[in-house]
A and B are shown apart, each in its own frame.
Chain A
Amino acid sequence: KAGVTQTPRYLIKTRGQQVTLSCSPISGHRSVSWYQQTPGQGLQFLFEYFSETQRNKGNFPGRFSGRQFSNSRSEMNVSTLELGDSALYLCASSLDDSPLHFGNGTRLTVT
């Protein structure tokens, strides 16, 4: 079974631009969660989607948004990028209420 797939692996953007990251969950998994990982703040929860509905949201500004499609694939979008948005963005999927399985992440660098 293929794992969680995130694209792209690396991304370089300029301040003020916007970015879209993509995540394909493990086949059959309907829940997708997103996390931001930085050296200073560690792993922080962004949001969780289940059956195309946002189920939980972390403490991030409205510039961070996401969505989930009917095939459970998910995207997250960050608008008006700031230098502090540079991070590893991790997507994870699960069967409902089972442990999270993570992808390898998208490394975003904002210059």
Chain B
Amino acid sequence: GEDVEQSLFLSVREGDSSVINCTYTDSSSTYLYWYKQEPGAGLQLLTYIFSNMDMKQDQRLTVLLNKKDKHLSLRIADTQTGDSAIYFCAESPSYGGSQGNLIFGKGTKLSVKP
């Protein structure tokens, strides 16, 4: 079945770049997403990429998609302490015909040290 894998932890120093990686299994996924979750809150949509793109940049965020290897990454430039959170990668499976049913990874906890 469909599965999304992420490493569980990442620790960086303030000002450095963070790179969070994700692999997925459904090669027919139409969209791939990155969400952020802070303690006690819901999920905040950070960015998403259509499967026919290989890169998307949005201010400090850069998403790279390698469709051949089914690998997605999120790069956060100039990481700040406020970026400390859990980051989830998600794919929309090819069945179902809608974007409401997403498959999420287990999340990567990003810790930013001052």
Given contacts A100-B45, A102-B44, are A55 and B98 in contact (CB under 8 A)? yes
Question: How many residues does chain A have at the interface if contact means C-beta atoms less than 8 Å apart?
Answer: 26
Name the B residues within 8 Å of A48 (CB-CB). 98, 100-101
Contact of B48 among A56, A58, A92, A99 (CB under 8 A): A99
CB-based nearest B residue for A6: B42
A31 on the interface (CB 8 Å rule)? yes
The residue of chain B having its C-beta at the shortest distance from the C-beta of A39 within the complex is B106
Known: A42-B104, A43-B88, A90-B42. A100 touches B98 (CB 8 A): no
Whether, in the assembled complex, A24 has its beta carbon less than 8 Å from a beta carbon of chain B, the answer is no
Interface residues of B in 94-114 (CB under 8 A from A): 96, 98-107
Give 25 pairs: A residue, B residue, CB < 8 Å, sorted on A: A6-B42, A42-B107, A43-B90, A43-B104, A45-B101, A48-B100, A50-B100, A55-B98, A56-B96, A56-B98, A56-B100, A58-B101, A90-B42, A90-B43, A94-B99, A97-B98, A97-B99, A98-B99, A99-B99, A100-B45, A100-B99, A100-B100, A101-B45, A102-B42, A102-B44
